[in-house]
Amino acid sequence: MKPSLDTFLGAADAALRTLFAKPHSTRAVPLPPAPGGELSEGERREAGALMRVNHVGEVCAQALYTAQAAVTRDPGLRAHFDEAAREETDHLAWTRHRLEELGARPSVLNPIWYLGAFGLGLVAGRLGDPLSLGFVAETERQVEAHLDSHLDRLPAADSASRAVVTQMKLDEARHAAQAWSAGAQELPPPAKALMRLASRVMTTVAHRI
């Protein structure tokens, strides 16, 4: 069964909303257990750069899930991808909100990041559902490790960003577990290495622009 016109229109709508509309979360922005301290100008810039990277990650997550939902032939799996994308929208909104609070801007390359991630999602989806789910599981595993590193790098006084990143990390771990439960197949080591390389390029560039 080929994707229908409605599927293509839905994918285009998702792209436009992700890139150009203000995202709205279904859950409140996570709050820190205690107020943070004052950030120096350097700390604010670094926190903004890290949250910009996290925002790019959520832009890519929207693209990946939208593409995989578009090509799977399993209605149940399509619903799974759609639900995951809706939950990732919370992360998209939270990171955008935190960027605004820090006086930072999203990456100007977001359309390119989205297009690249969408293409990867299409390729993964065409490989079959088990490998498509394996791609999700490995992506979420790498994102969880990436978020963990950000908890080490964020300024100690930036409790607001830490609260957001901590909740995102918990959600990503759950998404990976759900992918394994749905029948994910482990990716070969070369594929994992290529994913890590692509992630490193994205995070390095997005940290600056």
pLDDT tens for residues 107-166?
A: 999 999 999 999 999 999 999 999 999 999 999 999 999 999 999 999 999 999 999 999
Q: Does some domain include residue 73?
A: yes
CATH number, residue 94? 1.20.1260.10
Q: Does some domain include residue 14?
A: no
- Give residue 111's pLDDT: 96
Identify the CA nearest to 34 among candidates 158, 142, 119, 118. 158
Please tell me the distance from the alpha carbon of residue 98 to that of residue 94, in angstroms, as a whole number: 6
- Give residue 10's pLDDT: 78
CA 43 from centroid of its chain's CA atoms: 24
Q: Does some domain include residue 2?
A: no
Q: Does some domain include residue 9?
A: no
Three-class SS of residue 201? helix
Give every CB contact of residue 103 below 8 A, 6+ residues apart in sequence.
44, 48
What global pTM score does this model have? 0.92
Q: Does some domain include residue 12?
A: no
- Give residue 2's pLDDT: 55
CA 189 from centroid of its chain's CA atoms: 22
Three-class SS of residue 23? coil
Give every CB contact of residue 126 below 8 A, 6+ residues apart in sequence.
71
201: exposed, middle or buried (Cβ count in 10 Å: 0-12, 13-18, 19+): exposed
Q: For the chain, list residues with pLDDT below 70.
A: 1-5
Number of domains in the chain: 1
- Give residue 14's pLDDT: 86
- Give residue 34's pLDDT: 85
Q: Does some domain include residue 7?
A: no
- Give residue 183's pLDDT: 92
- Give residue 187's pLDDT: 93
Identify the CA nearest to 113 among candidates 172, 178, 54, 175. 54
In 72-158, alpha helices (H): 75-102, 110-126, 129-153
Q: Does some domain include residue 34?
A: no
Q: What residues make up the domain containing 69?
A: 43-208
- Give residue 117's pLDDT: 93
Q: Does some domain include residue 26?
A: no
